[in-house]
Amino acid sequence: MTSTTESRRSAASGTLTYGTILRLFLPLSLSDVIMVIAGPILTIGLTKLANPEISLAAYAVANNVAILLESPIIMLLHASNLLSRYRETYQPLRHFMLWVNALLTALYALLAFTPAYDLIFRTLLGQPDAIAAAARPAFQVQLLWPAAIGWRRFYQGILIQHKRSSVVAYAGFARIGSLALVTALGVMGRAHGATLAGLALVVSVIVEAAAVTWLARPVLQAGVTDPHAEAPDWAPRTVGQIALWYWPLAMTQILVSVVRPLLSGGIARSVDPELGLAAWPVAWSTILMVANAVRMVQQVALTLLQDRRSYLMLRRFTLTIGAVACGVMALLAVTPLGRGYMEWVLGLKGGLASVADAALPALGFGVVFPFYVALQNWLQALLIKDGRTLVVNAGAIAGGAVTLAAVYAGALIWRLPGAVLGIVSLLCGAAVELVVLVRASRPQRQAWLAR
C-alpha cells in the first residue's frame, strides 16, 4: 500500500462521523425499501383483478424462481463496490458481468420455454395446477430480469464506492414509478393478474438499470478507478480469477434464494395450501419492507471501514439501526397498524380478509428478523473485505439446510399454517447462519480492534 493511500485512509477515518455514515446509508436504505414496496403495489393491483388469490400465489412462486435465477449476479454489487476502485480489477470485473448476464439469460429461456417449466413448478415445487398454469406467462415475461439486475448491480457498486448513494436512490424512484404505472395500466385494462405482475417487475428493473447507467455518467467520465489505490494481494486480476473468487458469493446468494421457492413448496404441503400461498407473500413483503431498510450496512462497511475507530462506529451504528427496525416491526405486529396496513393499503378486506388473517400472525414472529439482517450483513462485510468469500458461503449453506428442514418438518409433522411456517423456518436458519458467521469472523473482529 502506498503512503498516499495510507494518508487518504487516515484522513477519511479521522473525519468519519455518524452524519457521514447516515448520508451514505440513508439513500441506500431508501433504495432497498423502494424495491420492497414493489410487493405491496403489485398486491394492491392483483386484488383488484379476477381470481386474486390464484394471482397472488402464482405471482409469488413465479417471482421466487425468477429471483433464484438472478441470484448468482446479486453479489456483483459487493464485488463492484470492493474491486471497481482498482485499475487491475475494474475491466476484468466488467467483462465478467457481461458474460454472466448472457449465461443467465440463456438459462432462463431454457427453463421458461421448454418442458423444464412443468418439472420445476409442478413436480419439484408441487404447485396446484391452477397456480402453475397462471404462473407460466408471468415467469416467461421476466426473461430479461437477470441481465437487467446484473447490469444495475455493477453500476450501483461503482456509485456507492464513489459515495454517490443519493444517485442510487434516484434510480430506485424511477423503478418504483414505472412499476406503479405499468400496474395501474394493467388494472385499468383488466389484464391477467400474475402476468401483469411479471411484466411490471421486468419493465421496472430495466428502467432502473437504464437510470443508474445514465446517472453514473459523471463518474464514468471522470474515471472509475483510483490511480493511487493498489489492489490487495488476494484481489483477482483476470476474468477467470474473478470467477473463482466470486463463485462462493454467487453460491451464497443461490442458497439464500433457493429457499424462497422451496419455502413455497413446503407451504404448498401445509394446511389449506392456497390460502397459505396467498398469505405468505403478503407477510413476507411486509417483513422485508422493514428488514431491507438495514441491509445496506454491508455496503457502508465495505466503503467506510478503515481502522479501529471506524470499526467501532460502524458496529455501533449496525446494532442501533437493527434495534430501531425491530421496534418498527413490533409496532406492525402488536398494534392495529399491521391490520390497517393490510386492509387499507393492500386492500385485503371483505372477501380477502382471510388472507390478512392468515398473514398477521407471521408478523409477530418476524419482529426479530430485521436485527438478524443487520448482524448478518455486518459480519459478511468483515469477511468479504478480507477476501474470505468461502466462509460467507459456509454460513449460507448451514442456514439454508436448517431452513429447508424446518419448513418441511413444519408442514408435514407439526402442520403449521403457511405464513407462520415460512417465517419460523427462516428464523431457524438465520440463527444457525449467525452462529457460523460470528465464529468465522472472530479473527477479523480482533484484527480491527487491534489496529
What is the per-residue DSSP string for 104-125? HHHHHHHHHSSTHHHIIIIIIS
Longest dimension (CA), the chain: 68
Joined together, the cell numbers standing for residue 171 give 434510480
| Stated pTM of the model | 0.84
Q: Quick count: other Cβ atoms within 10 Å of Cβ 434? A: 18
Report the C-alpha gap between 291 and 375 in whole angstroms: 11
Report the C-alpha gap between 86 and 80 in whole angstroms: 10
In order along its 451 residues, the chain shows pLDDT tens digits of 333 343 344 434 458 999 999 999 999 999 888 887 888 889 889 988 888 888 888 988 898 899 889 999 999 999 999 999 899 999 999 999 999 999 999 999 999 999 999 999 998 888 888 999 999 999 999 999 999 999 999 999 999 999 999 999 999 999 999 999 999 999 999 888 899 999 999 999 999 999 999 999 999 998 888 888 888 888 999 999 999 999 999 998 888 777 776 787 888 888 888 888 889 988 998 998 899 899 999 999 999 999 999 999 999 999 999 999 999 999 999 999 999 999 988 888 887 889 999 999 999 999 999 999 999 999 999 999 998 999 999 999 999 999 999 998 888 887 788 889 999 999 999 999 999 999 999 999 999 999 8
What's the confidence (pLDDT) of residue 13? 46
Report the C-alpha gap between 221 and 112 in whole angstroms: 39
Tell me the torsion sign for CA atoms 43, 46, 47, 52. Answer: negative
Interior angle at CA 64, CA 149 and CA 403, nearest 5: 115
Report the C-alpha gap between 38 and 179 in whole angstroms: 7
Q: How many residues does the chain have?
A: 451
Joined together, the cell numbers standing for residue 427 give 428464523
